[in-house]
Amino acid sequence: MELSAHTRQTDRLLLAPLTLADTADVFRVYGDPATWAHLPAGRFSELAQAEHQVAASERSFRARGLGTWAVRVTTEGATTGLPEGAWIGSGGLQYLEDAGVWNLGYRLSPEAWGRGFATELARAAVTAGAQVAPAVPITARALVNNPASTAVLEKLGLTLVWEGERAGGEGAGSRTLLSRVYADRPLTATAFDWLVAHA
């Protein structure tokens, strides 16, 4: 695979910008009900949703130098439990124009869970954000009912800046979902209000 200027590598992962060639894999992971156990309504049901995500990432890389990476395993055996080259998900930073912040996000396939990949990926994204645009805050949103994701954000040193009822209503079983907003620094009122409204 040809490496782009926006490709990064960690101890166990290759992080390359999403391309159209990744569309089917994006749909496979984002269409898997297991990856949406905390918010079933978010599950992709059409390939066009994956195409839209890839296109948005391509625009973000062109305009801001960062976007969403395809995540592949670079080593095999005991260190990962997965074959070398396995496509395990996507993640990175997307710029939120209305808030003026980076949004950290990722979604990994179930077979990749429990191996520390999310933390490894998220740490690379935070490092990249600090290098590419150090003046732009890095933020993340996570549901309270997803303790694995909130643990990752706390490991990164992001600070909880808000917790409350998720905008947009109820989750599975008519339960009101609580959401959290994290940031790496104090936020402007505009950024804070936007993130809370879209938590």
Eight-class DSSP state of 82: S
pLDDT of residue 166: 80
- What would the pLDDT profile of 131-166 be if each residue is shown by its tens digit? 999 999 999 999 999 999 999 999 999 999 999 998
- What would the pLDDT profile of 84-126 be if each residue is shown by its tens digit? 899 999 999 999 999 999 999 999 999 999 999 999 999 999 9
Pairing label, strands 101-108, 138-143: parallel
pLDDT tops 50 at residue 174: no
Query: What is the residue extent of each domain of the chain?
Result: 8-197
Residue with the two structure tokens 């905390």? 38
pLDDT of residue 82: 87
Which architecture characterizes domain 8-197 according to CATH?
3-Layer(aba) Sandwich (3.40)
- What would the pLDDT profile of 15-49 be if each residue is shown by its tens digit? 999 999 999 999 999 999 999 998 999 999 999 99
Question: pTM for this one?
Answer: 0.91
- Cα 169 to chain center, whole Å? 22
Least Cα distance to 6 among 87, 80, 63, 84 occurs for: 63
Residue 155, SS3? helix
